């Protein structure tokens, strides 16, 4: 039985866009019915490509509100195999068809010679470009068919497909034909790219995001922030519902929580939990107009053991290097503790500088550092008046190269110019960083002693994570020593 239970909405026809979304979701409250075998179809896609898809029609072929369902990063089978619906997609298709909804599953990967994008990157097939075009082309084709009720389609997607739902409904990425999309439902989408700030969001229809509170692959907090920001402006409603304890893929039928490694994007940890394990029924946070009730997911024992071992390792490394940035423990609920829970074992000086574009981000980083007990030497600037970034890069670089501060932090609009200016100084190895992985590897492999961040391209939470990784990761030496010495022969290793 599908674990994703929602209380049915009030009785009545599904007329308005939000009512249509509520009626769509209420279909999951019942046991899965039998499904008519999917039919393979094809239609024109963007840029002259022919898209293939699987179509599931209600029994008898009666008209209904069409649903364009967008697969996740695993695809629908790949170019060399016939299309098939994975268990999750098949479960949804059966329920939706039994409730009178025709469901169309376009394949974005097979026609482009790709099987999946969960591992090894997206290969250019991104939600914001090719997949967005596929979704709108599928919606336009579905709307013209005899089995489609008038009034537009509902977009539905999971993970990578959920991100595509948001991109397809977002008029920032291009026009959306009037009346084509009546509503959009995105399950555990990636609302922000790793190391980037939240994108502008101007939806053409009401949007509902269903999120896992313990999702380490596509964290809920970014989508919650997107919904809050969208709620501050007029236009179609944007709602998020977060289920406490739920991991990525929480609607997978009969799939216990398991750890996935080597995934293309895991912004919070190297391994991501996926699946569900019901234990209790806490109320979701920020419910939309209907009242869903979700059995919480609990990480498997192996997952708990991995996390505890990781925490012990981080604590031991911080003690050994004397470079603990945040001394409080990190919550598995993914909230950051920016204050100390006990006196620090060691503190050190950090030199900071920014131009006018980086003032706000620099202030946030400075507050976190000082809250952890470290001493910050802030070379400015301190206001919004336009200044020249080389002036502040020079001051920070001189402080680090003289040995006064072991590390430096620089912020400008993109981080590019200020990092170039810093690297003109002897003994400086300034790394321009956009995410945690880059920050960690810049220390491990390059013995970087200055980190540069772009306030216009990196959000504050990602920047804090990157700074944490930068200051707590030791230099590995070994095979890297010969290469780093060629960069700065006069250097003294920082770790």
Residues labelled catalytic: 412, 445
Detail the DSSP E strand segments found in 17-101. 39-44, 50-56, 67-70
Residues 6+ apart with CB under 8 A from 472: 314, 317, 318, 321, 323, 324, 325
The Cα 9–Cα 74 span in angstroms is: 32
The Cα 255–Cα 275 span in angstroms is: 5
Kindly state the helix (H) or strand (E) to which residue 371 belongs, with its residue range: helix 359-371
Return the C-alpha torsion angle 86, 89, 94, 99, nearest 10. 180
CA neighbor of 159 nearest in space, from 276, 233, 69, 85: 69
Q: What DSSP state is assigned to residue 356?
A: G
Asked if 446 contacts 431 with a C-beta cutoff of 8 angstroms, the reply is yes
What SS3 state is found at 460? helix
The Cα 245–Cα 224 span in angstroms is: 15
Please provide the size of the chain in residues.
495
Whole-angstrom Cα Rg for the chain: 25
Return the C-alpha torsion angle 61, 67, 70, 71, nearest 10. -50
What SS3 state is found at 56? strand
- Residue 261's φ and ψ, nearest 5 degrees, are -120, 160
Asked if 180 contacts 137 with a C-beta cutoff of 8 angstroms, the reply is no
The Cα 24–Cα 103 span in angstroms is: 11
Structure tokens at 176: 């959306």
The Cα 374–Cα 405 span in angstroms is: 11
What SS3 state is found at 319? helix
The Cα 453–Cα 195 span in angstroms is: 10
Q: What DSSP state is assigned to residue 187?
A: E
What SS3 state is found at 153? strand
Q: How many CB atoms lie within 10 A of CB 11?
A: 5
């Amino acid at each position: 039985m599908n674990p994703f239970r929602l209380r049915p909405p009030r009785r009545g026809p599904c007329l308005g866009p939000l009512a249509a979304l509520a009626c769509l979701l209420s279909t999951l409250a019942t046991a899965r019915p039998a499904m008519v075998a999917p039919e393979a179809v094809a239609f024109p896609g963007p840029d002259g490509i022919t898209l293939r898809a699987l179509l599931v029609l209600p029994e008898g072929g009666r008209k209904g509100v069409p649903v364009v369902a967008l697969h996740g990063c695993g695809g629908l089978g790949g170019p060399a195999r016939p299309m098939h619906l994975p268990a999750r997609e098949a479960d949804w298709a059966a329920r939706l068809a039994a409730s009178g909804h025709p469901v169309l599953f376009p394949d974005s990967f097979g026609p482009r010679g790709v099987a999946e994008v969960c591992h090894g990157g997206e290969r250019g097939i991104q939600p914001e470009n090719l997949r967005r075009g596929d979704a709108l082309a599928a919606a336009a084709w579905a709307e013209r068919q005899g089995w489609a009720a008038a009034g537009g389609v509902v977009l539905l997607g999971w993970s990578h497909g959920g991100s595509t739902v948001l991109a397809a409904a977002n008029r920032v990425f291009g026009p959306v034909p009037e009346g084509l999309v009546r509503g959009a439902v995105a399950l555990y989408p990636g609302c922000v790219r790793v190391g980037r700030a939240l994108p502008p969001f101007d939806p053409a229809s009401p949007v509902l995001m269903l999120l896992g509170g313990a999702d380490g692959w596509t964290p809920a907090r970014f989508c919650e922030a997107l919904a809050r920001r969208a709620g501050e402006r007029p236009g179609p409603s944007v709602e998020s519902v977060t289920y406490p304890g739920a991991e990525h893929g929480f609607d997978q039928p009969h799939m216990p929580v398991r750890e996935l490694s080597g995934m293309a994007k895991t912004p919070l940890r190297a391994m991501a939990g996926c699946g569900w394990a019901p234990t209790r029924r806490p109320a979701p946070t920020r419910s939309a107009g209907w009242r869903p009730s979700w059995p919480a997911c609990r990480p498997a024992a192996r997952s708990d053991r991995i996390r505890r071992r990781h925490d012990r390792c981080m604590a031991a490394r911080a003690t050994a290097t004397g470079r603990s940035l945040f001394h409080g423990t990190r919550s598995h609920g993914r909230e950051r503790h920016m204050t100390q829970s006990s006196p620090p074992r060691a503190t050190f000086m950090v030199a900071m500088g920014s131009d006018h574009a980086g003032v706000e981000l620099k202030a946030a980083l400075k507050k976190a550092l000082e809250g952890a007990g470290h001493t910050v030497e802030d070379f400015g600037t301190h206001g919004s008046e336009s200044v020249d970034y080389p002036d502040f890069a020079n001051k920070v670089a001189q402080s680090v190269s003289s040995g006064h501060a072991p590390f430096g932090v620089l912020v400008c609009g993109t981080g590019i110019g200020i990092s170039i200016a810093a690297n003109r100084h002897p003994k400086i190895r300034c790394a321009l960083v956009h995410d945690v992985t880059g920050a960690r590897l810049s220390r491990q492999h390059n013995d970087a002693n200055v980190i540069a961040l772009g306030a216009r391209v990196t959000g504050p939470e990602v920047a804090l994570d990157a700074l944490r990784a930068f200051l707590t990761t030791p230099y590995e030496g070994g095979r890297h020593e010969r290469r780093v010495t060629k960069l700065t022969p006069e250097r003294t290793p920082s770790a």
